[in-house]
Every structure is written in C-alpha cells, then in structure tokens.
C-alpha cells in the first residue's frame, strides 16, 4: 500500500488528505510539500483514510502539530502514539514506545 496525497484549500487552510500508509520513506516528500506552502497559510492533515503509520510518521505528525498544523480525523491509536512519543521525549527517553504499536 502506498500513500496518496490530495491537496485542497478551505478558505485560508491548506488541507492535505492522506490515504494509505505513512512510512519513513514518505516523510521527505511530505516535508517538501509543507515547505512549498506559503508561511501565511495554515496547514491541516486529514488522516481519516490513514490505516498504518511507522514511528517516523508519528514523530513527523507530532512535530507538525507542535509547529501549528492541524491533525483532522486522527485515529485513536495514532493520537495515543503521538502522545506517548511526546511524553517520552519530555521525560528524556528517546526509545520507541512499544506499547503504542
């Protein structure tokens, strides 16, 4: 399964609808998309159709959200994993959080 990315605009919000699986190898492409957008525009990732992520994807989504991106329709398991990674980093742990998988 690959990652499909659809871009749309809702007023001042750029929405990237992601479908499929997000893995480490897609992160550079997602970063390039973000860099190509105007800094004036707000960004949202619609994750309703995302079925599987790896740790690099979770770290990317967590960082994107920290920097102001919105995560729409984020599944419970992805949200839980993002929160666990944030908590682990705040507590000084850099290892993966196995319990979220």
Q: What's the CATH code of the domain at 41?
A: 3.30.750.24
- pLDDT on residue 95: 57
Q: Percent helix, strand and coil across the chain, each rounded to 5?
A: 45, 35, 25
The boundaries of the domain holding residue 19 are: 3-100
List the pLDDT tens digit at each of the 101 positions of the chain.
689 999 999 988 999 999 999 999 999 999 998 889 887 889 999 999 999 999 999 999 999 999 999 999 999 999 999 999 999 888 876 655 544 44
Counted domains in the chain: 1
Closest CA to 60 of 18, 22, 3, 17: 22
pTM of the model: 0.85
Q: Read out DSSP for 60-86?
A: HHHHHHHTT-EEES--HHHHHHHHHHH
SS3 category, 101: coil
- pLDDT on residue 98: 47
């Amino acid at each position: 399964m690959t990652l499909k990315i659809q871009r749309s605009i809702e007023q001042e919000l750029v929405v990237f609808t992601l479908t499929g699986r997000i893995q480490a190898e897609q992160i550079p492409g997602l970063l390039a998309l973000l860099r190509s957008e105007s800094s004036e525009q707000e960004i949202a990732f619609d994750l309703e159709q995302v079925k599987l992520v790896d740790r690099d994807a979770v770290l990317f989504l967590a960082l994107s959200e920290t920097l102001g991106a919105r995560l729409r329709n984020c599944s419970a398991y992805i949200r839980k994993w993002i929160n666990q990674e944030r908590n682990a980093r705040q507590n000084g742990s850099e290892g993966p959080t196995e319990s979220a998988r």
